[in-house]
Amino acid sequence: MNSLKNKHILSLQDLDLNEIISILDFAATLKKESKMDLSRKLLEGKTLGMVFQKPSTRTRVSFEIGMFQLGGHAIYLGINDMQLSKGETIEDTARTLSLYLDCLMARVYDHCDLEKLSTYSSIPIINGLSDLFHPCQILADLLTIREYKKKFNGLKLAWIGDGFNVCNDLLIGCAKTGINITAACPSGYEPPEWIVNISKKEGTKTGSIIKVTNEPIDAVQEADIVATDTFVSLGKDNEKIIRENVFIPKYQVNSELIKHAKDDAIFMHCLPAKRGQEVTSDVIDGKLSVVWKEAENRLHVQKALLCLLMRDN
Ligand code: CP
Ligand code: NVA
């Protein structure tokens, strides 16, 4: 097993292909063991801190339960309960928390906050969602894709909607694993050019083809996987009306759009979903949808990641 001891995981850029596969393989083992009611207390005596600047259902609960199942402990640190909200610096917070914790997961608005945390911490930092990346989600997505498609290389993934945090890390994750990805986003809402360029560069190593378009039907044509995310991410509430007008109906994943994908395509969504906006109920509740498996896999990949970050293995 490849230890990741003391690495920071701020995006999929922090993991090479071998490390990604190690996390997925270990997650698959832990998942199998948990289905058989076998739990190993691999993180006995270890403590994870969880800083949340914004709300969460899946990330909070899956990390907390994951630590509990592994025999460790998780502490929820809501931003308003911390001296951070009263002006203590991120640098000093990082130095202090490193004295008590074995690992820190943080969900922040500004990705720079995570970079500062990682610079001033002596413990591993995990990104639990920033305005740029969502690595834990993409690891769960890759595990889900592998479970359904049994491979990565040569698959076609169509991303429909906002070229934001989830899309950004998915571009990198697909590039690193050899999945061809086309992101169909409205003009002005495409993923940042530097992230597309990083992904294209990664893609040259695996043969993954990275494309960005404004045309959802082109992206979905013969796709193996169709994925989307909310049109109004956390922190974007002030753009809600503009965004809904720009995205709906052209970028909505509905039965009309998804019929252009392969018959055995899967539909993915990191959740939370806004039914009737980025996806219709018939698609998210339909036979192509794997969103609940995807949500479950957050638990398994994060347990694997926590073990690999905190143990010598
Ligand atoms: N997908 C995801 O990160 O969900 P939460 O916002 O509920 O954590
Ligand atoms: N793009 C979404 C993802 C939520 C998990 C957001 O940032 O709110």
Residues 24 and 66 in one domain: yes
179 Cβ closer than 6 Å to some ligand 2 atom: no
Residues 155 and 290 in one domain: yes
From the CA of 159, which ligand is nearest? 2
Could you tell me if residue 1 is inside a domain?
Answer: no
For 35, the 3-state DSSP assignment is helix
Atom of ligand 2 nearest to the CA of 58: 5
What does the pLDDT read at residue 3?
Answer: 78
What does the pLDDT read at residue 1?
Answer: 59
Could you tell me if residue 4 is inside a domain?
Answer: no
Confidence class of residue 6 from pLDDT cuts 50, 70 and 90? Answer: confident
Which helix (H) or strand (E) covers residue 269, if one does? strand 266-269
204 Cβ closer than 6 Å to some ligand 1 atom: no
Residues 160 and 263 in one domain: yes
Could you tell me if residue 277 is inside a domain?
Answer: yes
- How does DSSP classify residue 13? G
What is the count of structural domains for the chain?
Answer: 2
Rounded to the nearest angstrom, the gap between the alpha carbon of residue 183 and the centroid of all alpha carbons in its chain is 16
User: For the residues 248-274, what does the mean pLDDT come to?
Assistant: 98
Residue indicated by tokens 């956390």: 234
Atom of ligand 1 nearest to the CA of 234: 6
Among protein residues, the one whose CA lies closest to atom 6 of ligand 1: 56
Confidence class of residue 5 from pLDDT cuts 50, 70 and 90? Answer: confident
User: Contact at 8 Å (CB) between 10 and 118?
Assistant: yes
Could you tell me if residue 2 is inside a domain?
Answer: no
What does the pLDDT read at residue 130?
Answer: 98
Q: What is the 3-state secondary structure (H, E, C) of 159-187?
A: EECCCCHHHHHHHHHHHHHCCEEEEECCC
Could you tell me if residue 199 is inside a domain?
Answer: yes
User: For the residues 28-33, what does the mean pLDDT come to?
Assistant: 97
Residue % of the chain over a pLDDT of 70: 99
User: For the residues 112-124, what does the mean pLDDT come to?
Assistant: 98
Burial classification of residue 188, based on how many CB atoms lie within 10 Å of its CB (0-12 exposed, 13-18 middle, 19 or more buried)? exposed
Query: What are the tens digits of pLDDT across the range 208-234?
Result: 999 999 999 999 999 999 999 999 999
Residues 165 and 237 in one domain: yes
Mutation choice for ligand 1 from 144, 234, 271, 297, CB with most ligand atoms inside 8 A: 271
Query: What are the tens digits of pLDDT across the range 72-103?
Result: 999 999 999 999 999 999 999 999 999 999 99
- Record the tokens describing residue 10, joined without a space: 């701020």
Residues 89 and 142 in one domain: no
User: For the residues 284-295, what does the mean pLDDT come to?
Assistant: 98
Confidence class of residue 45 from pLDDT cuts 50, 70 and 90? Answer: very high
Atom of ligand 1 nearest to the CA of 128: 3
Range of the domain at 203: 137-294
User: For the residues 168-196, what does the mean pLDDT come to?
Assistant: 98
Asked if residue 186 has a cis previous peptide bond (ω within 30° of 0), the answer is no
Task: Measure the CA–CA gap between 56 and 133, rounded to whole angstroms.
Answer: 15
Residues 48 and 97 in one domain: yes
Residue indicated by tokens 């500004």: 110
Query: 107 an active-site residue?
Result: yes
Residue 122 dihedral angles phi and psi, to the nearest 5°: -105, 10
168 Cβ closer than 6 Å to some ligand 2 atom: no
Residues 227 and 300 in one domain: no
230 Cβ closer than 6 Å to some ligand 1 atom: no
Residues 215 and 97 in one domain: no
What does the pLDDT read at residue 248?
Answer: 97
What does the pLDDT read at residue 89?
Answer: 97
Residues 143 and 113 in one domain: no
Sheet holding 156-160, edge to edge: 210-213, 180-184, 156-160, 225-228, 266-269
Query: 270 an active-site residue?
Result: yes
User: For the residues 52-73, what does the mean pLDDT come to?
Assistant: 98
Residues 41 and 121 in one domain: yes
CATH number at residue 89: 3.40.50.1370
Could you tell me if residue 122 is inside a domain?
Answer: yes
Examine the pLDDT at 68 and tell me if it is beyond 80.
yes
Residues 141 and 248 in one domain: yes
Could you tell me if residue 7 is inside a domain?
Answer: no
Nearest to 139 by CA among 123, 125, 128: 128
Confidence class of residue 2 from pLDDT cuts 50, 70 and 90? Answer: low
Could you tell me if residue 3 is inside a domain?
Answer: no
Residues 184 and 288 in one domain: yes
Give the other-Cβ count within 10 Å of 205's Cβ.
12
CA torsion angle for 270, 211, 194, 128 (degrees, to 10)?
A: 10
CB burial string 250-266: b at 16+ within 10 A, e below = ebbbeeebbebbbeebb
Atom of ligand 1 nearest to the CA of 107: 8
From the CA of 166, which ligand is nearest? 2
